[in-house]
Amino acid sequence: MDLSLTKDQQSFREEVRAFLAASLTPELRRGAELTSGVFAEPDIAREWQAILEEQGWLVYHWPDHAGGPGWTPIQRWIFEKECAEAGAPVLPGMGLKLVGPVLYTFGTQAQQDYYLPRLRSAEHFWAQGFSEPGAGSDLASLRTRAVREGDHYIVSGHKIWTTQAQYANRLFALVRTDAEVKPQKGISFLLIDMAQPGVTVKPILSASGDHELNEVFLDEVRVPVSDRVGDEGQGWSIAKFLLENERGGSSFAPAILADLARLHTSAGPLTGELADRALRLRLEAEALEMTELRTLIEIEHGAAPDPRSLTTKLLASEIRQGLEALAVDAFGLAGLQLPGERPFYGGDMPAPVVSPAAQVAAARYLNARAWSIFGGTSEIQLTLIAKAALGL
């Protein structure tokens, strides 16, 4: 048993630190700190993505045959932790984390050759079209339909909760290609060009006033059959791959621990109940970090993920929500500011009371409520844990 890094891992960490010190500009750092949503806004994200791509580390979690740097799970974790501690922007995951792995795993050579470079260069900005109104987390009841006409599908339907769709020019979507078979069998996975007639994006404002979510209406949208990933009817299993990949993909604790440390700086020393809440959150977050690390170490040594890996999204949601609530309280009345302007690091923002960190606190608190809802509610997580870990 050993928690220390090898010499190689240590020098890798130094390399990452040096890179971040040199490349992560104060503007990027500030943009990241004052981001109220899940992902960096496009101006920040685009710049950081280009820097990472230049360094060869953008697709650090892709295998080398797909163009990744060939890092081990521990190296990826070191990189993520260093990025979190340095306060790097969080890049949108729809392309890099979701459709990217789908493409290099299930895509044809032609699809890979066309889409992967454009994903990396940010020429394509991807959105995820899975959820539909009324279906909640229940993908089997999908109603968007794709009818084959020659070498095209004609797609009509209504997607919802589509993160950053207002910036996207590509949508990957689950659609029903066969209504006759068992619900899960009739689903296919399509890549849809959003710059065409019939695609309408309608914003859903969050309670915070942030515009992160959208509805996407598809009205007889034409999709070449060559933009179907996998076979017809294979959509369900591709989606499963994608969701498991999303879940197992990254660690939550490093960002939480880094944000908690930053709060102590931005809000000053916490006392009384606030100090107690901060301490308890840190205990939970340190435990979570090790819970995540245990799984990574096991994977590094070739084991299959333990059911314990199912607990991290649930725990991270709760710790994150506790952290953002603490931030609001730590800033007192100033934590209750909520300007209507966006982004918080932008030039249109009114002068903050106390500090920009105070100004963004309420928006972050409100947006953090979504952690326990999207990507499988906390209730669904508990049911999954009971089943997988305890056989209930």
Partner 1 sequence: MNLALSDEQAMVRDMVRRFLADRYDATTMAKGPMSSDDWRALGELGLFALLMPEQAGGLGGGAVEVMIISQELGRALAITPLAEAILLCGRALAADQAVGGWTDRLMQGDALLAFARGGEVVDGRLSGLADIVRDGVNADAFVVETEVGALLLVDVQDSGIRRIPVRLVDGSMAANVRFDAALAQPLTAPASLWAEAHTLAGLSIIAELVGAMSTLLDLTVDYIKQRHQFGKPIASFQVVQHRCARMYTWLEQSRSLLLKAAMVGEKERTRAVTTARAYIGDTALKLAEEAVQLHGGMGVTNELAVGRGLRRVLLLSRLHGGGIAARSALAA
Active site residues: 246
Positions 195 through 224 that interact with partner 1 (CB under 8 A): 204-207, 209, 213
Structural tokens at position 354: 């106390």
328 interacts with partner 1 by CB under 8 A = yes
Q: What is the 3-state secondary structure (H, E, C) of 56-72?
A: CCCCCCCCHHHCCCCCC
304 interacts with partner 1 by CB under 8 A = no
Piece in contact with partner 1 (CB under 8 A), picked from 1-9, 10-18, 35-43, 184-192: 1-9
**C-beta of 325: minimal distance to partner 1 in Å?**
8
Q: Is 158:192 a contact under the CB 8 Å cutoff?
A: no
What are the backbone angles phi and psi of residue 218, rounded to the nearest 5°? Answer: -115, 120
Show the CA angle centred on residue 239, arms to residues 233 and 244, nearest 5°: 145
Figure out which of the listed residues 122, 315, 316, 357 binds partner 1, where binding follows CB under 8 A: 315
Specify the residue, 197 or 340, whose C-beta has the smaller distance to partner 1.
Answer: 340
Pairing of strands 211-224, 228-229: unpaired
Interatomic CA distance for residues 185 and 177, integer angstroms: 9
**DSSP state letter for 96:** I
Specify the residue, 175 or 281, whose C-beta has the smaller distance to partner 1.
Answer: 281
Amino acid at 194: M
Figure out which of the listed residues 335, 345, 364, 376 binds partner 1, where binding follows CB under 8 A: 335
**C-beta of 308: minimal distance to partner 1 in Å?**
5
151 interacts with partner 1 by CB under 8 A = no
Show the CA angle centred on residue 311, arms to residues 306 and 316, nearest 5°: 135
251 interacts with partner 1 by CB under 8 A = no
Figure out which of the listed residues 243, 245, 336, 356 binds partner 1, where binding follows CB under 8 A: 336
Specify the residue, 225 or 353, whose C-beta has the smaller distance to partner 1.
Answer: 353
5 interacts with partner 1 by CB under 8 A = yes
Structural tokens at position 216: 């996407």
Piece in contact with partner 1 (CB under 8 A), picked from 20-28, 90-98, 167-175, 381-389: 381-389
94 interacts with partner 1 by CB under 8 A = no
**C-beta of 280: minimal distance to partner 1 in Å?**
8
Distance of CA 33 to the CA centre of its chain: 16
Piece in contact with partner 1 (CB under 8 A), picked from 29-37, 81-89, 224-232, 290-298: 290-298
Distance of CA 15 to the CA centre of its chain: 25
Interatomic CA distance for residues 98 and 41, integer angstroms: 18
Interatomic CA distance for residues 84 and 258, integer angstroms: 6
Positions 17 through 76 that interact with partner 1 (CB under 8 A): 74
**Residues in contact with partner 1, total (CB under 8 A)?**
83
With tokens 């295998």, the residue in question is: 63
261 interacts with partner 1 by CB under 8 A = no
**C-beta of 9: minimal distance to partner 1 in Å?**
8
